[in-house]
Amino acid sequence: MIPSSVQTFIGGPHPPETALYLLLDPLACGPQDAHLHLATLRQELHEDAFTVLPGPDLAHTPDACPVLVTLAAPGCQPCARLIELSILHSMRDANHPKRYVCGWLRSAAAPEAIAAHIVALGQPPQKQQSQYFPVHEPLRLELLAASCKDVGHEPWWPIQQWLFPTSSGATSLLIGHPEQVTALGIHVAIAQQDVPVVAALLCSWRRALQLPLTYAPLRWNGPTPLPPHAAIQAYGHIRQARALELHHQHDIMTLALYRLTVHPRLHEHPGVRDLIKQAIAGETRLGKLFSPYNDRAWERLACELTNKGTVR
């Protein structure tokens, strides 16, 4: 999924006045390719090719700040080897909580303006100025893009195109429009505050798919590690679990994973509702309450929810 999408992005039609950039995050977990390490890149590229994103969260540690690397000036072709390295690293990065390769961007603006804009995207509304969200991180960007789309607002300009790796293992393309440059609203901060929980749920979901689940009719078996819009699904399940008054993270994860693999309306079944109430009361964690259910019990429950009758 990733190789073809990036190659299409690099080789496809684009305005000749735009430059091509690679966004890297030194704080990312997991091994970094020696050939794509910033220290190695600095030996290969001119120092002007590197622009730091001066986020307030890392103001005292500039070496840890994300970096915008110019791969090709306007009218020039990027180094095919660096493109290939960035693709391979992005694929290996797919299961890590944070990604080293945060995306490929095109813009006619100066790199300093792009860096400042990305930092500004993470600035919360006026009354919450003490917070900053590093939305250059792909998971955060994925949720930010969904939040903005919900309100019909896509504030990416002066970035004309931003291709980034998604939680599913594929990529997504953001398009900037010069007429949409207004400030972000409170909806952004609400979703961003839940990113750590979303990341934990995605990690649990990936692990669950590696297990020999015997009854899991909704189990994902597609070409990517997780289904499209996986982060959006995870965030929705987290919000719905909280709406049911579940507050312990273990209970939230448990209900979400069962809804993702057994039935999306699992929480509506009377028997499951009773178990949720017990978990809310703090008597026992939801995972332990679910443990007596065998595959036949889950199958019967799922059939009841889909109005197909009970299983004998």
Provide DSSP, 94-144. Answer: TTSSS-SEEEEEEESS-HHHHHHHHHHHT---GGGTT----TTSHHHHHHH
- The tens digit of pLDDT for each residue in 55-76 reads 888 878 888 899 999 999 998 8
User: Same domain for 160 and 243?
Assistant: no
Alpha helix segments (H runs only) across 158-229: 186-192, 195-209
With respect to residue 190, please indicate whether it lies within any of the assigned structural domains.
no
Residue after which a domain boundary falls, among 141, 164, 184: 184
User: Same domain for 160 and 237?
Assistant: no
Number of domains making up the chain: 2
With respect to residue 40, please indicate whether it lies within any of the assigned structural domains.
yes
User: Same domain for 290 and 168?
Assistant: no
Structure tokens at 103: 């995306």
Residue after which a domain boundary falls, among 184, 209, 227: 184
Q: What is the mean pLDDT of each run of 10 residues along the chain (312 residues)?
A: 76 83 86 75 89 86 90 89 89 82 95 93 67 91 87 83 93 85 64 91 91 84 91 95 94 95 93 94 90 91 74 38
- Give backbone dihedrals phi and psi of 165, rounded to 5 degrees, phi first: -75, 140
Which domain, by its residues, includes 233?
A: 195-305
The residues, any chain, with a CB within 8 Å of residue 204's CB and separated by 6 or more, are 253, 257
Region of 248 (left: φ > 0; alpha: ψ -120 to 50; beta: rest) is: beta
- The tens digit of pLDDT for each residue in 102-149 reads 999 999 999 999 999 999 888 866 555 568 899 999 999 999 999 887
User: Same domain for 126 and 207?
Assistant: no
With respect to residue 145, please indicate whether it lies within any of the assigned structural domains.
yes
* Residue 109 pLDDT: 95
**Which residue's entry shows tokens 């220290």?**
39
Rounded Cα distance, 132 and 151, in Å: 21
Residue after which a domain boundary falls, among 160, 184, 208: 184
The residues, any chain, with a CB within 8 Å of residue 144's CB and separated by 6 or more, are 121, 133, 135, 188, 191, 192
Rounded Cα distance, 263 and 305, in Å: 8
* Residue 312 pLDDT: 36
Rounded Cα distance, 204 and 196, in Å: 12
User: Same domain for 203 and 284?
Assistant: yes
* Residue 190 pLDDT: 80
* Residue 3 pLDDT: 66
* Residue 151 pLDDT: 65
* Residue 97 pLDDT: 74
